[in-house]
Amino acid sequence: MSIPGPDDILRHEFPNGIVLLVRENFTNPTVVLSGYLEAGSGDETPPQAGLASFTASALTRGTVHRTFDQIYEEVESVGASIGVSAGVYETGFGIKCLAEDFPRILEVLADVLRNPTFPPQEVEKLRGEIITDLEERAHDTRRMASLTFRELAYPPGHPYGRSVNGYIETVSPLTADDLAAFYRAHYTPRGMVITVVGAIGAVEAVDLIERTFGDWNGPAPQRAPSPPVSPPEEVRQKFVPIPGKTQTDIVLGYPGPARTDPAFLDALLCNTILGVFGMMGRLGDKVRDEQGLAYYSYSRVEGGRGPGPWTVIAGVNPANVERALESIRAEIRRICQEPVPSEELADSQSFLVGSLPLRLETNEGVAAAILEMERYGLGLDYLQRYGNLIREITPERVLAAAQRWLNPDAYVLAMAGPPPS
């Protein structure tokens, strides 16, 4: 299988600032479009937390040309899918359909992104769905531990420190006018990126995007860089009691590397060794399998445009919380103090390199990979260089990444579970 690269990815920039990347794949009858524009929860104020997500979800609830029902009838009648959702710094969007239906579904997407009307009745229905989800979150130990971790790990007001979905008290007062105002202030084609992968010619894709988005104009988005975050200098922890539960969820971690940090791949490989490879890495081997202290235990490095979380996540019997934490910290201490043995390093390197073709088996996977290359300025040849970049990482570089971002004695700890008896 050929790895996507500059020879088969067309990159085209339109005068209005939209960047389009296309990779043809006529072995599959579908077309996938994936993209983002520069609007997210980082553009909202803390008292309006959830506004960006609410706005993104409301785009498909009605436009100048189509009602909510008409949008979904047009999409679902041909077995296609369409979606829009907000993150911290972006609002992502996408469609998937048969190649023959792509022009039609693309017009629906353009209508959704360019002409939303935020019908008050539909906004109220959506608000109810959001608040129901937030109420359910309050009783979910894993989600509450994750939310609490972010609130502890990042300073007040930091975009990474609050919920993208917001809170009941911030979502409840938002109006259709608030959504429309956020849309007018932040939705612009400047900085917008679109990838198209599948059974469509590159020239045809350029022409279709030109016809649907080429006359959309707007100012460049104005946004301050993601604020830096200092690592914790002591243990900061909080327990969220949730009655009626039988499991305690643990999130222990740190503000981690941005995706653009030169040492990100070192951190990625370190994390793979710590809590991903095989049956969840060293954490899975020790904390879960060998010691039986957790139902699951793994680690994750998020990356992103700013210092996204690097976390260890575990679900444990409440009686085993302290012992599980000791075991987790022991594994963090080991990876911070001892160079990784060459065989273990090679195994995790092979896993990362070998999993790349699996990620690229589908049009969705290829589109996501190309979008990541553009988003972080990695270069169109990044996927072709990826294997060598991973194999070049030494035990010393893994150790340096661990020592830079991890600390077994100073960390943020969030737990949610049944109240102590």
> Helix/strand/coil (H, E, C) string of 293-312?
CCCEEEEEECCCCCCCEEEE
CA 164, 105, 209, 66 dihedral sign is negative
- Are 302 and 258 in contact by the 8 Å Cβ rule? The answer is no
Separation of alpha carbons 203 and 336, rounded Å:
51
Residue predicted with more confidence, 279 or 154: 154
Write out pLDDT tens, residues 357-370: 999 999 999 999 99
Share of the chain above pLDDT 90, in %: 96
CA dihedral 137, 310, 261, 84 (to 10 degrees): -20
Q: What's the whole-number mean pLDDT along residues 83-112?
A: 98
Q: Establish how many alpha carbons lie within 13 A of residue 54's alpha carbon, considering only the half-sphere containing its beta carbon.
A: 38
Where does the pLDDT of residue 95 fall: very low under 50, low under 70, confident under 90, or very high at 90 and above? very high
- Report the pLDDT value the prediction gives residue 228, as an integer from 0 to 100: 83
Confidence at residue 349, expressed as pLDDT on a 0 to 100 scale = 98
pLDDT in tens, 145-173: 999 999 999 998 899 999 999 999 999 99
**Whole-angstrom Cα distance, residue 175 to residue 6?**
45
pLDDT score, position 223: 83
Closest Cα to residue 122, out of 169, 180, 37? Answer: 180
Per-residue pLDDT, averaged over 242-249, amounts to: 97
- Reply yes or no on whether the pLDDT at 1 is more than 60: no
Q: Going by C-beta distance under 8 Å and a sequence separation of 6 or more, which residues neighbour residue 64?
A: 111, 115, 117
Residue 28 has pLDDT above 60, yes or no: yes
What size, in residues, is the chain? 421
Class of 10-213 per CATH? alpha beta
Which residue in the block uniquely carries the two structure tokens 């273990």? Answer: 344
Asked whether the predicted pLDDT for residue 26 surpasses 70, the reply is yes
pTM of the model: 0.95
Residue 97: pLDDT band (50, 70, 90) is very high
Task: Read off the tokens for 412.
Answer: 């943020």
Q: Report pLDDT for 47.
A: 96
Say if CB 311 and CB 325 are below 8 A apart: no
Q: Are 203 and 90 in contact (CB under 8 A)?
A: no
DSSP state, residue 384 = H
pLDDT computed for residue 22 by the predictor: 98
Span 201-206, mean pLDDT? 98
Question: What is the overall mean pLDDT for the chain?
Answer: 96
Distance (Å, whole) CA 274 – CA 331: 7
What CA–CA distance (Å, rounded) separates 168 from 188? 28
Q: What is the pLDDT of residue 55?
A: 98
Domains 10-213 and 236-417 fall in the same CATH topology = yes
- For the domain made up of 236-417, give the CATH fold: Cytochrome Bc1 Complex; Chain A, domain 1 (3.30.830)
C-alpha 142/C-alpha 144 separation (Å) is 6
User: Which sequence spans correspond to the domains of the chain?
Assistant: 10-213, 236-417
Q: What is the model's pLDDT at position 225? A: 78
Average pLDDT of 393-405?
98
pLDDT score of 264: 98
CA distances from 62 to 58, 68, 70, 111, 117 (A): 8, 5, 8, 9, 6
